[in-house]
Chain A
Amino acid sequence: MVKWKRIGMDLTFPNVPKYTKDFINDMGQPLNIKIYEPSDDISPQGFLGLGNEFLEHIDNNYNSGFTLHVRRRDKIREPIRVEYIMNDENPTVVDKNIIKVDEDSEVTVIIDYKTISDTKAFHNGITKVYAKENSIVNIIKIQRMNESSFNFDSNVAIVEGRGKVNWISVELGSSISGANYTTFLDGEASEGYLSSIYFGDGNRKMDISYSMIHRGPRSISNIDTKGVLMNEARKVFRGNLDFKKGARRAKGNEEEYVILLDPKVKSDSIPGLFCEEDDVEGNHAASAGQLDKNKLFYLMSRGLSERDAKKLIVEASFRPIIDSIPSDELREEINLEVERRFANV
């Protein structure tokens, strides 16, 4: 059993039945994608994800996943979409995804976790990204499971010289959600970026942790998180910038901005800045509070109701991140989902 004190969670892992749905939607592209088969791929040293219990559970029980190997100088323009859909027949996804991107190549992968019924679904997965020299990897993760589901997601990237990994994380669903993104910036001038939005309403509990581990000289990282909490939602955010010795002239930046809409929300932020190298620049900033009253007043003076004005301000804060999702259809769905949540205000 796993206990998370800060958000108040006791978890016993469920049995993992087979997952039979076809989850890869390759949009008709002739890609070198195959259903995952057991391999000796091991997690990188120092990667803890959401914790050993979760990683072991995946290793022993995975029922789905894929391996994607992008060859050298292969630039795949169209995003690859993977959907893990959960319903009454397939309530449990334990996935292990491996994305290997060779030198000078580029790829975008959208991984979407969603429920299409009221079933109490469970997801525990890992996504590993190996970005070789001079490659560009964009990973978009969308989590919109229903409010009785549990979601646990560990993500790790190892970035070589001049490689670049962009994570976009959209956290909208589940009653309990744990998400970890760890990026090892190993190569010289490697880059890691993470933009995320989270929306907590009802009794949702979220534990979000992001780590940028700078090992390569002149590596660059940026974490940009926007969140909203309402009703009785609880979240803990941990963002770490970790400069290891040797990461000369590395730069890291981290920002979290959370809007609190109700008196009963609970919001914990633990931004960490760890440094063993003097020649670096690291910044982090966090802010939390209600909506800007002046903005709200202005919008209401223009005839918007309080609810609509609040919605508009929240949407404005989410918009730059949602707009970077390379799919009209998905953007539209996410915008509608945010709108729907506000309907209950």
Chain B
Amino acid sequence: MERKKTFIDDIDRGIYDIKNEFTYKYKAEKGLTPDIIIEISKEKNEPQWMTDFRLKSLEIYNSKPMPTWGADLSDLNLDEIITYIRPNADMKTRWEDVPEEIKDTFERLGLPQAERESLAGVGAQYDSEVVYHNIRQELVDQGVIYTDMETALRDYEDVIKEYFMKLVPPTDHKFAALHGAVWSGGSFVYVPEGVNVDIPLQSYFRLNAPGAGQFEHTLIIVEKGAFLHFIEGCSAPKYKVNNLHAGCVELYVKENARLRYSTIENWSKNMYNLNTKRCVVDKNGSIEWVSGSFGSRVSMLYPMSILRGEGAKSEFTGITFASKGQYLDTGTKVVHAAPYTTSTVNSKSISKDGGHAFYRGLLKVAPNAHNCKATISCESLMLDNDSKSDTLPIISLDNDNIDIGHEAKIGRISDEAIFYLMSRGISEEEAKAMIVRGFVEPITKELPLEYAVELNNLINIELEGSIG
């Protein structure tokens, strides 16, 4: 007997796909030359050291070959990508002042509403520049800084100079070099010693222009004993030409500090998402990554935690949902560089409709990192037979006094589970949806509420009435 297969439609991305007319104040030529870089730097009124930094990065970029592992990048023609687009708007601190069309976009994405209801500060980037940035007064009074990178470079030049691309140097890989050359926008957060930012801050990155690249830089410093929850959202409407996202996130978690960094990435399926995220954690500090990858045509994203202080901790919770035409190569890297450090990785992936989900991870324990503990758990669910799912966690241990565990599982929804639920009077569709929701539940409960609701809706839409 031929068993019934689950059939699932492509997601109706609704609001994400509404595009605005492509208007701009200034646009760089396609491609990359020193002239274009100097032009961008001049347009942004940057200090000379930053211009030099960009030119140096461009040199490194040109000297490095395209990566040959992981995703097929042959369709990505960097000479066709517009690296800098200044939208028809300046940075504002009141939504009323943001041009109507751009404001409407963010309204549809629910950002101003979320700001009123559940966020302590919001940044909104449209193409290459931040158009809105605001933070509650009580946080400003406590010395918290939350602003766009351009303002930060003007107002806190010394701090930026000390930290900017020190954790992810342009020599790291080709796209880090590209980022160093053409970065624009992004957020800077500084939380002073002992300050507890109990309501999250959120930055939202929206790429509207076709054939463009977004290269925002996020730099967060959480001082001793402080706490911050930062949320990053990304989306773009779908175009026929390729877009590129090569952002860079650098996080510094000082002694006893804690940072929770949540990302919901819902890029359109013409996006190459080649992002670099890295965090360094000092003594007894902790980083918590929550990462949801749903969109993009190609993703290569491996947030990295460097546990350099004794007792530092990292926790990675990730979900990847690869659908038609998507190759999502995601995972995490953890480096135990000090004794008594602990790390936990919990990754789930779903692939369907020809989507290809790939978990790729690294766990490295340095020779001096004795008494450290690490667990990695990877689970994959395949919803049909056209899809692919791969898992490749690399574990590299350089000393003996450690405790490492790793587990991975792959499979489909079991007929027994469905049969059991159906015997309890639940329809087949609902049973399947229930099982998928149960599968992702450990992740959804880590997400901010509105995103958890969104993810559940996404699963419902995907499974609704399409099984049989």
Contact = CB atoms under 8 A, between A and B. Distances in A.
Nearest to A240: B392
The interface centre, meaning the residue of A243, A261, A270, A273 with most chain B CB atoms within 10 A of its CB, is A273
Contact of B394 (A268, A275, A276): A268
A302 B402 CA distance: 26
Nearest to B360: A272
14 contacts: A245-B385, A264-B399, A268-B395, A269-B397, A269-B406, A270-B392, A271-B392, A271-B395, A271-B408, A273-B408, A281-B410, A281-B411, A282-B408, A286-B405
A265 interface: yes
A276 B408 CA distance: 16
Contacts of A268: 394-397
A279 interface: yes
Nearest to A279: B412
A128 to B, nearest CB: 27
B404 interface: yes
A285 B404 CA distance: 11
A289 B402 contact: yes
Contacts of A78: none
Given A264-B367, A286-B406, A275 B380 contact: yes
B407 A263 contact: no
A324 B332 CA distance: 39
Interface in A220-265: 229, 243, 245, 260-265
A285 B392 CA distance: 12
A262 B400 contact: yes
Nearest to B3: A279
Given A269-B396, A273-B378, 15 more contacts: A243-B410, A267-B397, A271-B406, A271-B408, A273-B380, A273-B391, A274-B391, A276-B388, A277-B382, A282-B408, A283-B410, A284-B408, A285-B407, A288-B395, A289-B402
A292 to B, nearest CB: 10
A266 B397 CA distance: 6
A278 interface: yes
Interface string B365-385: 001001000000010101111
B157 interface: no
Contacts of B391: 271-274, 284
A290 B365 CA distance: 14
A263 B400 contact: yes
A265 B390 contact: no
A279 B407 CA distance: 20
B400 to A, nearest CB: 4
The interface centre, meaning the residue of A264, A278, A283 with most chain B CB atoms within 10 A of its CB, is A278
B325 interface: no
B10 interface: no
A267 B402 CA distance: 12
Interface of B: 367, 370, 378, 380, 382-385, 387-412
A258 B146 CA distance: 47
Nearest to A267: B397
The interface centre, meaning the residue of A261, A263, A275, A276 with most chain B CB atoms within 10 A of its CB, is A275
A280 interface: yes
Contacts of A273: 378, 380, 390-392, 408, 410
A278 B385 contact: yes
Contacts of A267: 395-397
Contacts, number: 114
Contacts of A45: none
Interface residues of A, number: 34
The interface centre, meaning the residue of B396, B410, B412 with most chain A CB atoms within 10 A of its CB, is B410
A44 B252 CA distance: 51
Contacts of B385: 245, 277-279
A265 B383 CA distance: 42
Q: Which 7 A-B pairs have the closest CB atoms?
A: A260-B400, A278-B382, A273-B391, A282-B410, A286-B406, A269-B395, A267-B397
Contact of B387 (A266, A269, A278, A285): A278
Nearest to A273: B391
A115 to B, nearest CB: 29
Contacts of A277: 382, 385
A263 B393 CA distance: 23
Contacts of B390: 272-275
B402 A288 contact: yes
Contact of B411 (A262, A282, A288): A282
A263 B401 CA distance: 7
Contact of B404 (A261, A270, A272, A289): A289
B399 A265 contact: yes
A105 B403 CA distance: 45
Given A275-B382, A278-B385, A284 B407 contact: yes
Contacts of B387: 278
Contacts of A279: 385, 412
A284 B409 CA distance: 6
Nearest to B400: A260
A282 B402 CA distance: 27
Contact of B401 (A245, A282, A284, A290): A290
A12 interface: no
Contacts of A270: 392-395
Contact of B400 (A245, A272, A280, A290): A290
B54 to A, nearest CB: 33
Contacts of A278: 382-385, 387, 412
A280 B405 contact: no
Nearest to B380: A275
Contacts of B378: 273
A287 B388 contact: no
Nearest to A229: B400
Given A275-B389, A278-B385, A281-B410, A263 B397 contact: no
Nearest to B412: A278
